[in-house]
Amino acid sequence: MVLLLCLFFFTTRTLALNTISPGQSIKDGQTLVSASGSFELGFFSPGNSKSRYVGIWYQKVSTGTAVWVANREASVSDASGVLSINDKGILSIMNGTKGIVWSSNTSRNSAEEPIARLLDSGNFVVKDPNDSDPENFLWQSFDYPCDTFLPGMKIGINFVTGFDRHISSWKSMEDPAPGLYSMRIDPRGLPQLVIKKGPNITSRGGSWNGRYITGRPQPTVNPVYLYEFFWNKNEAYYKYEMRNSSIFSRYLLNPVGLTQRSIWNERKNEWEVDSTSQADQCSIYDYCGSYATCSTNEFPPCKCLEGFMQGSASPGDLSSVDWSNGCTRRRPLTCDGGDSFLKQTGLKLPDTSKSWADISVDLKECEKLCLRNCSCTAYANLDIREGGHGCLLWFLDLIDITEFSKGGQDLYIRLATSDLEHIQSKGKLKEKQKATIIAISVIITCGMMILALWLYVRKKKLRKTGEHGKEDLELPVFDFAIIATATNNFSSNNILGQGGFGPVYKGTLIEGQEIAVKRLSKNSGQGLEEFKNEVTLISKLQHRNLVKLFGCCIRRDEKMLIYEYMPNKSLDYFIFDQTRSKLLDWRIRMHIVDGIARGVLYLHHDSRLRIIHRDLKASNILLDNNMKPKISDFGLARKFGVDQTQAKTRRVVGTYGYMSPEYALDGIFSTKSDVFSFGVLVLEILSGKKNRGFSRPEHDHNLLGHAWTLWIGKRPLELIDTALSDLYNATEVLRCINVALLCVQQSPLDRPNMSLVLLMLCGDSVLPQPKQPGFFIERNLPMTDSISEINEMFSIYESTITSLEPR
């Protein structure tokens, strides 16, 4: 990522050594290189800074990416700096006046002939060359990490000496001094990995369960990384190694508090982020308060544990976004033997800072120990290997629990026995209802099997293929008569709207299922190619923020797509109408922005395919009964390969006002094209105004230009839709505008990816300042959908595009 890269400006002369001895030095302009050429050490200047620092950076790959800085708090002002080692093994950096700006703290006994050596691991060490132990160092840079966690490094604390090894972010991209954020081991209770902003925890990786850190659902062995956690009475530390030593990997804690794990991709010649620790709101520490779980698959994401109820001032408001008060018990504990335990599965275990652990105690004895102490609130296995063993007890409130869709761990939560019996009785009732439903389903299934067989035969006959009629659509095919009946013979009274594909009808199947039917118009700008594209793509995609495709209907020239019915129509129906926009309060708008972001993130990163939508706009965002947004219309979407980053087309299709500059002018599209469209959508949701056709008397900019003008004029809140009045969270508004402007920056390299967008929307970290957006369509450009006029307009830019298809 561009935001995470540093540029280094220096002229170097590499020494033919990886080692210096007393009497030798490294002057500014000279470097040491490790034996295999993996790492290099010398003076450098980060970004546009003129200050000089001694650092270690990658030399074999990603030249210029720093992993460690010696004098991060005391730079040398010019190129007069010198790094040397004395006969006691102490490293020092001196400026032009021989003043010491930094020195190492060698705590062990000095050697007679100490040397300083840069190892292939990226570790800069001082050692006795006569010592046969390769790991016995007088001093090592790995004991003083900066913002990068490398294979072989340790993060942890020595309980005897108090020495704390931790990662700390840079202050900025040009200042390597310790910033606000740190990644470290919290030694309280069962030690756990945490991210802190100053003294406060912002995110929690969790404790070690014998296989992995509990903050992530990792049920299988990782084929790339080998993790290790060590804990005894003297020390606790966390480290990792690469199973293949030829692969370069790093964890980076950047200045805004984002922790990302990256692997160097030789084919692409770039760092590839394969994991982000703070990817959603559930990674925010204690987001849902005590005795509540957080799930990214639900809205609201927070819910109380079984046996607990919301403890806010308005307990009836289950959709409240403020869960800071958490939940409270429905019935108090008796603490006299009248308590029991409810097993919850698939969880990120609670904060272990108020816990106790013993590997020698089994789970049955663990339960007894918890019952004996009235402050004990839950227990779990300390180690999940070999069926589980060891005991982990929690005391006082349970906080920071995440519910995973798969993986996770078992937790036994203490409840009053009467409460547990009530929960179990509800479960038995559900089982009876389930059995009844199964019996009825069996009867219905028998009848449906006969119908399905008939439909299957019909489907084989009705299935169309591409233009040559050979491809299988792999999707349920509805009989034309069924759809005609459902839509009252395609009555004009059933029309929901009109899109580029054709009219959309509301229908009701015989069994009562409501559907939306997109019928390809003979005069449509889209044809068989777009129809097939939508069928083959969306039939393989499943996400709560994507519209669900039930099937298709093909008969001669008739082509139809059958979707789930969205009762609240599309987003543009609300936000661009002065009356209906008042129904979208601030909470709902934030909910819609969050849902769209998650849907696009799924398309770009998490689905089986990598999909570029190419037509994200307000009319393609449908809303269900609960105003949950669902992305629709995949006729123009394109599938990318695993290693593909962008593509180019001479057939530019989409909607003016949402297109990114590089796509509209040069036909180049990528995930960053969708990011641009998402940024436009966010600004439209915030302002209630369309980007295309926007006008203001004081300037000729579109909505993007207007938002930018307000931003640089320090008046961004003037952008907000008047329908909201003053009923909004100003901090959240400013964050949304900032993120939207980052998304619509002119250069696609400057735009964040969707995982970072979602993190920035949900988090509280300091955001980077946006650059000027891409002013693609301005008010003084002609308002036309004519192909000839549009082509003439773009000839100004000497575009090589030969065909534009406005929608």
Contact 709, 702 (CB under 8 A): no
User: Taking the chain, what is the end-to-end CA distance rounded to the nearest angstrom?
Assistant: 33
Between CA 531 and CA 536 the distance in angstroms is: 9
SS3 369: helix
Chain center to CA of 315 = 30
Comparing C-alpha atoms, which of 75, 21, 16 is closest to residue 44?
75
Computed on alpha carbons and rounded to an integer, the radius of gyration of the chain in Å comes to 30
Retrieve residue 570's tokens.
């599309």
Between CA 76 and CA 733 the distance in angstroms is: 41
Contact 46, 174 (CB under 8 A): yes
| Polymer length in residues for the chain | 807
* Residue where the block lists tokens 């594909």: 501
Looking at the chain, the number of H-run helices and the number of E-run strands are 12, 48
User: Across 34-88, where does the E strand assignment appear?
Assistant: 39-44, 53-58, 66-69, 82-85
The number of C-alpha atoms within 13 Å of 653 and in the hemisphere containing its C-beta is: 15
Write the DSSP symbol of residue 333: -
Between CA 282 and CA 739 the distance in angstroms is: 19
Between CA 683 and CA 381 the distance in angstroms is: 48
The sign of the CA dihedral 487, 488, 489, 493 is: negative
- Strands 259-265 and 175-186 come out as unpaired
Residue type, 523: N
Active-site residue (options: 186, 615, 633, 721) = 615
- What is each CA distance from 129 to 56, 116, 125, in whole angstroms? 22, 10, 11
- Strands 167-172 and 175-186 come out as antiparallel
**Residue 383 a catalytic site member:** no
Which residues touch 422 (CB under 8 Å, ≥6 apart)? none
- What is each CA distance from 125 to 13, 19, 85, 135, 351, in whole angstroms? 21, 9, 11, 10, 36
Between CA 487 and CA 517 the distance in angstroms is: 8
> Based on the number of CB atoms within 10 Å of its own CB, is 800 exposed (0-12), middle (13-18) or buried (19 or more)?
exposed
Between CA 515 and CA 508 the distance in angstroms is: 6
Between CA 418 and CA 422 the distance in angstroms is: 6
- What is each CA distance from 583 to 574, 578, 579, 781, 786, in whole angstroms? 8, 10, 8, 33, 35
Cite the active site residues. 615
